[in-house]
Chain A
Amino acid sequence: MKLSIQEVEHIAELARLRLTDAEKEKYSEQLSNILGYMEKLQTVDMDNIEPTSQVTGLTNIMREDEVVESGIADELVACSPDSGDGYVKIPKIFENK
């Protein structure tokens, strides 16, 4: 199991991480090593074994669909790096042509 630099670049792009060349080298080696260990998972016959995604036994916890004021809406918006008039500001994503 060897992860190429191209594969590392592809994963980084999906994960929205900008990696330096040194990081790409390092992750190519380390991820290959870690995923090599994960080959253990392929050694077990798991036909007919149900996957467990969580262990609470709970499903669909419902509540009334009511508006509850947090009381901190302004403070939450103010946590963003750029905000104004109660909105989070982001750079333009559409240009007028």
Chain B
Amino acid sequence: MELNKLTLTESFEGLRKKEFSSEELTKSCFDQIKKFDDKINSFLTLNESEALAKAKEVDKKIKNDESISPLAGIPVAVKDIFCTAGLKTTSASKILENYVPPFDASVVAKSKKEDAVILGKTNLDEFAMGGSTENSGFFPTHNPWDLDRVPGGSSGGSAAALSADMGIYALGTDTGGSIREPASFCGVSGLKVSYGRVSRYGVMAMTSSLDTIGPFGKSAEDIAMILKYMAGRDEKDSTTPDVLVDNYSEEIKKEIRGLKVGLPKEYFVDGMDDSVRDMTLAAAKKLEEMGAEIVDINLPHTDLAVAAYYIICPCEVSSNMARFDGIKYGFSQRDKGKDLIDIYLDSRANGFGAEVKRRIMIGTYALSAGYYDAYYKKAMQIRTLVRQDFDEAFKDVDVILTPVAPTPAYKLGEKIGDPLKMYLEDVFTIPASLAGICGLVVPAGLANNLPVGIQLLGKRFDEKTILRVGHQYQLATNWHKQKPSL
């Protein structure tokens, strides 16, 4: 048995029944990494000795029949934007090439408390800015389904690692689609939580009013299990309201008969790939067969969302990136005799990559004197309209079904020279980000042997319903069990 191929649910049961040890499970993941990651490049840093030490510690607890968490002893890959105490955390940026944080992000601290086994840190677009992982300051990640193609981004390393069975689950972040798009491109399940559902303390901020943290899993059932341990109020992140954390693993068992699924016509546009359109509609048909009611809905301001997002995001980026000044941490270029301003200018010029600089420039421009009303304020008003679109739609439906990206995974280098083209890839994921609602991506088919996912959008804090639809869909289909041939 290749243990690294197990789901979280299967790993948990196997450990419990003592069919294998956490050490064996962990070793099988590292074996897979050593065999294939020189081709895929999903990891930036491995945490092998600590991971194996933790696995042995959990094995001892299991041997002594101590009660353990469902996450205990299970290997997880973590996007390199989560601070991990004593383990290098770079955000795939040269400006943090050698940064070792002295503290854990809240989600990492929680995972450690549950005795999770941290395999290592995965590649991303620098500071999560991008949709292909080509903006990594170190190297691009390749899609396990076709090494000439991108894994999506920004959480491309986590999605690719999981797709290639190098871990049992993975953690990522999603601001405008950074979990959902790579989940679709790599054929895994991924959840963007409602804004505020999971603490972001210790995760490097990109767009503070939109950033969320979520899991990738080999099934929606696995994600339900993980979310229970990630979600909830954290006093270190004041955007986390004290809203009940549901018992997701129980909720998803309910059948979907009678549930209303909205299909927005604005998400079926000219220029999208036929395979994406067909698979989304096939999924709608499947849900209908399972007893759901498909309802046509309108989200009239969808077309404005990308423009609003690519103002809001760069504005907040220009502010969040100001902390990297060559003084407090990270790369610092200090040539003799230079004064403070030169340290700022040189450290940032040589530490940041092209996309980060580009977003800082757009944001600085849009926030500079005289332009606030034309750009930032307008973008925030559009955000109101997009949010109202969803509020209206959710009066009539329980979940909304849409495509994830206009195409399956595209070739490395195909869009990197044209930033606007890259931004427009996010057209189906951005509106939910602006509205702060949750979205689950599950695999729904293959087009020329490339995975295509569907997106299930839910009301704010109603993760339980989209996970339920995703899980029930996975009980009726096998798309999530398709694997790339490595």
Contact = CB atoms under 8 A, between A and B. Distances in A.
Interface of A: 3, 7-8, 11-12, 14-19, 23, 27, 30-31, 33-35, 37-38, 40-42, 44, 46, 49-58, 61, 63, 70, 72, 75-76, 78-82, 88, 90-93
Contact of B436 (A11, A27, A55, A79): A55
A46 B368 contact: no
B69 interface: no
A55 B361 CA distance: 26
A79 B384 contact: no
B380 A52 contact: yes
Q: Which of A12, A63, A70, A81 has the most CB of B within 10 A?
A: A81
B374 A42 contact: yes
Given A34-B423, A41-B304, A55-B387, A81 B361 contact: no
Interface string B148-163: 0000000000000000
B304 A40 contact: yes
A30 B419 contact: yes
Given A11-B361, A27-B358, A38 B307 contact: yes
A23 B361 CA distance: 12
A94 B341 CA distance: 13
Contacts of A42: 374, 378
Contacts of B375: 38, 41
A80 B328 contact: yes
B361 A31 contact: yes
A29 to B, nearest CB: 11
Contacts of A63: 235
B195 A56 contact: yes
Interface in B301-345: 303-304, 307-308, 310-311, 318, 322, 325-330, 332, 334, 338-341, 343-345
B293 interface: no
Given A55-B195, A58-B239, A72 B102 contact: yes
A3 B358 CA distance: 13
B269 to A, nearest CB: 15
Q: Which of A15, A27, A50, A58 has the most CB of B within 10 A?
A: A15
Interface in B192-214: 195-196, 209
B99 A38 contact: no
B357 A40 contact: no
Given A30-B358, A79-B99, A51 B436 contact: no
B241 A57 contact: yes
14 contacts: A15-B364, A16-B345, A23-B357, A27-B358, A37-B420, A40-B304, A41-B378, A44-B304, A44-B378, A52-B387, A54-B195, A55-B435, A72-B103, A81-B327
B327 A90 contact: yes
Please provide the 10 A-B residue pairs with the shortest distance between their CB atoms, ordered closest to farther: A51-B380, A55-B436, A75-B102, A81-B332, A61-B238, A18-B345, A18-B349, A79-B329, A15-B364, A52-B383
B385 interface: yes
Interface residues of B, number: 65
B468 interface: no
A34 B362 contact: yes
A48 to B, nearest CB: 10
B328 A88 contact: yes
B276 interface: no
A78 B103 CA distance: 13
B345 A17 contact: yes
B365 interface: yes
Contacts of A12: 361
A96 to B, nearest CB: 15
Contact of A11 (B196, B329, B368): B368
A38 B361 CA distance: 15
Nearest to B423: A34
B382 interface: yes
Nearest to A79: B329
Contacts of A56: 195-196, 239, 241, 436
Given A8-B361, A16-B345, A52-B387, A34 B419 contact: yes
A30 B352 CA distance: 17
B377 interface: yes
A38 B311 contact: yes
B346 interface: yes
B460 interface: yes
Contacts of B310: 34, 37-38
A88 B326 CA distance: 11
